[in-house]
Amino acid sequence: MGFEVNRFQGDVDEELVCPICSGVLEDPLQAPVCEHAFCRACIQEWISRQPTCPVDRQSITTAQLRPVPRILRNLLSKLCIKCDNATYGCTSVLKLDSLSSHLEECEHNPKRPVSCEQGCGLVIPKDELKDHNCVKELRALIHSQQQKMADFQQEIAEQRRKLKEQKREIELLKEFLHAMRSSNPAVREIADQMERDEVIRWSNSLTRARVTRWGGMISTPDDELQMG
């Protein structure tokens, strides 16, 4: 939805008005062929119901919509608009492209986050401050934290249970292999070979020592000396 025209100082060119909502264009897009411009939200909702341009009824899809030209964006940015919080006492009139940053800091914004000065120090929207109850809010916060802690402890307990099961399965497998090794020479040979292979893999993963020379002494033979 666009901005209400009566919020702007002076006349607004009709090219800057959305044909759907009759407000000043907000985050505008345009049709690819006829180049009619609309508010992003307005045209997307319109096309979801009927895929045609609202002005001349040419076929159009959401994927075909394009950003409006820079000159149109520049004209919009130079318009002077009243703050959204004018009804709450704000008298600021600013350029349209500065509106969003102003609203974040506007002291008249009813949703502006403020700290409670009654004792709890919680940050809440300004318009909720009059109904704020420190004790109630702190109890709710504590309950929420306790629930999160309980869920975390339950998750840890579940992980411990799974690890215990895995450890038990490994012990049973070891006992089975030990029994098979004792009763079957062929199995014992396979198990011994597996252990030897594991030792070899471990030794090959170690970083090879480098040669260090002190005068005529060599601490560790290098490849050249070994081959000699």
CA 100 vs CA 19, 84, 109: distances in Å: 24, 10, 12
pTM of the model: 0.50
What are 49-66's pLDDT values in tens digits? 999 999 999 999 999 999
Range of the domain at 63: 1-78
- Between 13-22, 26-35, 119-128, 179-188, the lowest mean confidence (pLDDT) is in 179-188
Residue 102 lies in a domain: no
Collapsed DSSP state (helix, strand, coil) of residue 208? coil
For residue 8, list its beta bridge partners. Answer: 81
- Find, among 142, 145, 144, 119, the residue nearest to 132 by Cα: 119
Instruction: Give Cα 122 distance to the centre of its chain.
Output: 25
**Half-sphere exposure in the Cβ direction for 52 (13 Å, CA):** 6
Contacts of 152 (CB under 8 A, 6+ apart): none
Residue 3 lies in a domain: yes
What are 188-226's pLDDT values in tens digits? 677 667 767 767 777 777 666 555 554 444 445 555 544
Q: What is the CATH number of the domain that holds 45?
A: 3.30.40.10
Quote the pLDDT of residue 127: 66
For residue 150, list its beta bridge partners. Answer: none
Residue 153 lies in a domain: no
Quote the pLDDT of residue 187: 64
pLDDT of 227 strictly over 60: no
User: What is the Cα–Cα distance from 127 to 137, expressed in whole angstroms?
Assistant: 16
Domains held by the chain: number: 1
Residue 103 lies in a domain: no
Residue 125 lies in a domain: no
User: What is the Cα–Cα distance from 51 to 61, expressed in whole angstroms?
Assistant: 6
Tell me the mean pLDDT in the region 113-122: 74
